[in-house]
Amino acid sequence: MSVARFWRKIPQRYNMIGTKCETCHRHFFPPRSFCPDCRRNGRIVDHKFAGFGTIITYTVIHTANEQFEAFTPYVLAIVKLDEGPRMTAQVVCRPDEVKIGMRVKSVFRRIATDGESGIIHYGTKFVPTG
């Protein structure tokens, strides 16, 4: 199986599929198969995240490693999804546009490339909802 095809099989890689606990309603992304609060009383089921969230904090990366150099300067933020879990991800917008508290929505984008002829990594980034 090719690497790209293998990645497609990972639920949280290309789709925002995590899990939730039906006992306490806590959501997990990336997915957990066990609820740390309810333990043996937890009931874990798959959950497809809506992809909406709010920026908790951010930085603008000016000096990046080779894989991300082409994107600089770019916004890297901690996003709190509406269902609760937090993610660290790029926000696709001008660096002077980003604000703490800004509403964002997930999009499927190219994340990085392994050199000229290497594998292209795709995954989740965010864009402003406005």
Please state the closest distance from residue 4 (CB atom) to other proteins, in A.
26
Sign of CA dihedral 88, 47, 109, 5: positive
Are 18 and 31 a contacting pair, CB within 8 Å?
yes
Applying CB under 8 A, which of residues 34, 59, 66, 94 lies at the interface with other proteins?
A: 59
DSSP string, 97-109: T--TT-EEEEEEE
The stretch among 8-16, 39-47, 51-59, 115-123 that binds other proteins (CB under 8 A) is 51-59
Does the footprint of other proteins cover residue 41 (CB under 8 A)? no
Does the footprint of Zn ion cover residue 24 (CB under 5 A)? yes
**Assign residue 91 a region: left if phi > 0, alpha if psi is -120 to 50, beta otherwise?**
beta
d(CA 74, CA 110): 14
Nearer to other proteins by Cβ, of 40 and 62: the residue is: 62
Applying CB under 8 A, which of residues 17, 38, 60, 107 lies at the interface with other proteins?
A: 60
The residues binding other proteins (CB under 8 A) are: 56-57, 59-63, 76, 78, 86-88, 95
